[in-house]
Amino acid sequence: MSMNAHAFADPRVRAWPTARRDRLQLALWSAQEIADATGGVASGEFQCSGVEMDSRDVRPGDLFIALKGEEMDGHRFIDNAFAAGAAAAIVDRPIDWPHVLVEDTTAALHALAAAARTRADAKRIGVTGSVGKTGVKEAIFAALDRSSRGQAHRSVRSYNNHVGVPLSLARMGARAKYGVFEMGMNHAGEIAPLADHVRPDVAVITTIAPAHIENLGTMEAIADEKAEIFKGLKPGGAAIIPADSEHFERLRRRAEAAGAEVFSFGRADHARVRLLDAIPAANGGASLVTAQIDDTRLCYSVAEPGEHWIANSLAVMATIYALGADLGAAGIALGEMGGLKGRGARHSILAAGGRATLIDESYNANPASMRATLAQLGQTPAHRRVAVLGAMRELGEFGPAFHEQLAEPLAQADVDFAVLVGEEMGPLVTRLGNAGGNILGKPIAFAHCAGPAEAIAALEEFGLVASDAILVKGSNAVGLGRLVDHFVSRG
């Protein structure tokens, strides 16, 4: 008898305990499950390994949901989806491909999301905030995925709106132990429906900052809208809130009114997860953090550079603690995380005489994140520091002042050259160009550009050299990702 046969003959192996989760199917969705969840009619038997709503992103085995909007109808792209390997589609009209026929495909997506939430015995975490929610979501996922040995799920990219959240839920497998979901908003009334979709065990607010203030009007209104996430909490759930925020008491009251146990994080003495010490690396890289959580003291490293990531790490640890999950695994995950595309990824790019460092923060921008990333640039060792700053959107009447106020963090970061992109940068251009600008320190050379193409040309003319550090930061609509791709693709 072979060794393998002996092993499986051992009664201790045959008696190895199995959990209910182990008996669940590996496929994400079967035809019958989709039909049962949506009230639709399946055309036949099939199984799907993923869920997608954009035919350009379909991978083999996916379920394609043909959503209909005001200007776009996903049914137009069904052939493209199946050409890319879709296993089936959810549709509101009969097609020649495997499908589930429903009355309304958007309602079917929501029903599928609810079915995914119900069937998975998973602890769910909802993450919102004005700044840092994607990075914190990714860090929480990394910590839980490590401790659960790959049985954590999260929303990908920034799928955080009325379509992205149910889509992310529908992608959660029955075997998942944890699900981490990002929730965003532009207007009042958008967070509560997302929280109702997820119904989290833990709700996280990273920060309150003047993002989308054009639509909300005041900082208090922003705090109130973010606090709507607590309405979706499961009974006995936990609220993770920033102790250092001037809106802390407002958030705490809203959390407690929802019946949540509050886990605050920050430097404040009243923080339940409190920063004791943080030692940044001399090269502007990883920080060594010491924190107190109730009667437990932790020491861990944070690979992501910058003061804002020290605060982010405390929010992560508070979440892991509230879940009763593995704090050690969280510390390892924070020490290993790399930058995300558009949100802090660092690239070594070709420059005259060697290599330069490009910091990609091109996906989003608001006054708080601009200041944080400029401070990070100032801590980065470099021959010269270059800031490519795109306009900050959705600031309304506050926009001119917020843009002009970037002069101080630019000077504090010791920036040698600034490329300012977009019409909204006009007040900052005026401030930097003012003859009295020397009160900020040394004069800052700058170029004002209409868009990414002009910004690329301005950088090319400036001439990047070895050991330069270049920060690229702006609202996604400005399109500075094109500039990042241009310089990174050169090798």
* CATH number of the domain that residue 471 is part of: 3.90.190.20
Summarize the confidence of residues 12-37 as an average pLDDT: 74
For residues 471, 475, 479 and 480, what is the CA-based torsion angle, rounded to 10 degrees?
0
What pLDDT, on a 0 to 100 scale, did the predictor assign at position 436? 46
290: part of which helix (H) or strand (E)? Answer: strand 287-293
What pLDDT, on a 0 to 100 scale, did the predictor assign at position 122? 97
Residue 2 located in a structural domain: no
For residue 354, what are its two tokens?
A: 């060697």
What pLDDT, on a 0 to 100 scale, did the predictor assign at position 225? 94
Residue 10 located in a structural domain: no
Residue 7 located in a structural domain: no
347 strand-pairing partners: 358
Domain boundary among 314, 336, 358: 336
Rounded to the nearest integer, the mean pLDDT of the chain is 90
Instruction: Record the pTM.
Output: 0.79
Residues 284 and 326 in one domain: yes
Q: Which of 229-233, 351-355, 438-442 has the lowest mean pLDDT?
A: 438-442
Residue 17 located in a structural domain: no
Residue 396 located in a structural domain: yes
Residues 279 and 395 in one domain: no
For residue 461, what are its two tokens?
A: 């003319």
What pLDDT, on a 0 to 100 scale, did the predictor assign at position 11? 61
What pLDDT, on a 0 to 100 scale, did the predictor assign at position 212? 66
Ranges 168-172, 285-289, 373-377, most confident: 168-172
Helix (H, G, I), strand (E, B) or coil at 62: strand
Summarize the confidence of residues 84-109 as an average pLDDT: 97
d(CA 274, CA 265): 6
Q: Can you give 75-143 as a three-state secondary structure string?
A: HHHHHHHHHCCCCEEEECCCCCCCEEECCCHHHHHHHHHHHHHHHCCCEEEEEECCCCHHHHHHHHHHH
User: Which residues are within 8 A (CB) of 257 and not within 5 positions of it... i.e. 6 or more apart?
Assistant: 230
Q: Which residue has the higher pLDDT, 211 or 390?
A: 390
Residues 202 and 140 in one domain: yes
d(CA 347, CA 470): 10
Q: Which residue has the higher pLDDT, 395 or 235?
A: 235
d(CA 140, CA 320): 7
Specify the CATH number for the domain of residue 63: 3.40.1390.10
What pLDDT, on a 0 to 100 scale, did the predictor assign at position 271? 97
Query: Does the pLDDT value for residue 247 go beyond 60?
Result: yes
Residues 217 and 265 in one domain: yes
Residues 284 and 388 in one domain: no
Helices 105-119, 31-38: inter-axial angle, 10-degree rounding: 110
Residue 349 located in a structural domain: yes
Q: What percent of the chain has pLDDT over 70?
A: 92
Q: Containing domain of residue 251, as a range?
A: 120-336
Sign of the Cα pseudo-torsion (418, 422, 423, 425, in order): negative
Query: Does the pLDDT value for residue 160 go beyond 70?
Result: yes
What pLDDT, on a 0 to 100 scale, did the predictor assign at position 187? 84
Residues 131 and 252 in one domain: yes
Query: Does the pLDDT value for residue 379 go beyond 80?
Result: yes
Summarize the confidence of residues 288-304 as an average pLDDT: 94
Residue 6 located in a structural domain: no
For residue 246, what are its two tokens?
A: 């001037």
Residues 418 and 466 in one domain: yes
CA 33 to mean position of chain CA atoms: 30
Domain tally, the chain: 3
Residues 315 and 357 in one domain: no
d(CA 108, CA 88): 14
Sign of the Cα pseudo-torsion (303, 489, 422, 444, in order): positive
Residue 115 located in a structural domain: no
What pLDDT, on a 0 to 100 scale, did the predictor assign at position 449? 96
Residues 374 and 424 in one domain: yes
Specify the CATH number for the domain of residue 134: 3.40.1190.10
Sign of the Cα pseudo-torsion (477, 368, 204, 309, in order): positive
What pLDDT, on a 0 to 100 scale, did the predictor assign at position 491? 72
Domain boundary among 318, 336, 354: 336
d(CA 49, CA 62): 6
What pLDDT, on a 0 to 100 scale, did the predictor assign at position 199? 97
Domain boundary among 42, 71, 104: 104
What pLDDT, on a 0 to 100 scale, did the predictor assign at position 209? 84
Residues 375 and 480 in one domain: yes
Q: What percent of the chain has pLDDT over 90?
A: 75
Helices 327-336, 133-147: inter-axial angle, 10-degree rounding: 120
**What letter does residue 61 receive in the DSSP assignment?**
T
Residues 332 and 349 in one domain: no
Query: Does the pLDDT value for residue 451 go beyond 60?
Result: yes
What pLDDT, on a 0 to 100 scale, did the predictor assign at position 156? 86
For residues 233, 237, 238 and 241, what is the CA-based torsion angle, rounded to 10 degrees?
20
Q: Cβ atoms within 10 A of the Cβ of 142, count?
A: 21
Summarize the confidence of residues 355-364 as an average pLDDT: 91
Summarize the confidence of residues 222-228 as an average pLDDT: 95
Residues 138 and 87 in one domain: no
What pLDDT, on a 0 to 100 scale, did the predictor assign at position 307? 84
Query: Does the pLDDT value for residue 146 go beyond 70?
Result: yes
Banded pLDDT at 1 (limits 50, 70, 90): very low
